[in-house]
Amino acid sequence: MKHNFRDLGIWKDSFNIVKDVYDLCVKLPSEEKYGLKSQIQRCAISIPSNIAEGSGRTSDKEFLHFLSIAISSSYELETQLLLCNEIFAIEVDFIIEKLHINQRMIGGLKRKINALK
């Protein structure tokens, strides 16, 4: 079953998280341009990108695979945000709260799709 990614709450929320991450990255030191900053941005972008890619696939199995990648990227992003807090004392809790909600929503969609099989 195909899904229009623009209609999915998980895509909308993760898209907004990307914007929050980019705002946060401005606070990182310039020497992190090719380090943590780049990694955080790529990771954040991976979440809505994988949701979008999976939504265009022809089978639920493929969609579930891309949802799994998206949620894994969100865990990776959470780790990197915690590092930003620990190393550079940058406040990240507001983004992590949004990530936790998004992670639960992705998990819920995965369970719903699995229940329909």
Q: By residue range, what is the domain housing residue 32?
A: 5-116
Q: Which residues are CB-neighbours of 37 under 8 A, at least 6 positions away? A: 25, 28
pTM for the whole structure: 0.93
Total number of domains constituting the chain: 1
In the chain, which residues have pLDDT < 50? none
Identify the DSSP state of 57.
S
Q: What's the pLDDT score for residue 1?
A: 55
CATH code: domain of residue 36: 1.20.1440.60
Note the helical H segments in the chain.
Answer: 9-25, 36-55, 60-88, 93-116
Question: For 37, how many CA atoms within 13 A lie in the half-sphere containing its CB?
Answer: 14
Q: What is the pLDDT of residues 76-104, one digit of tens each?
A: 999 999 999 999 999 999 999 999 999 99
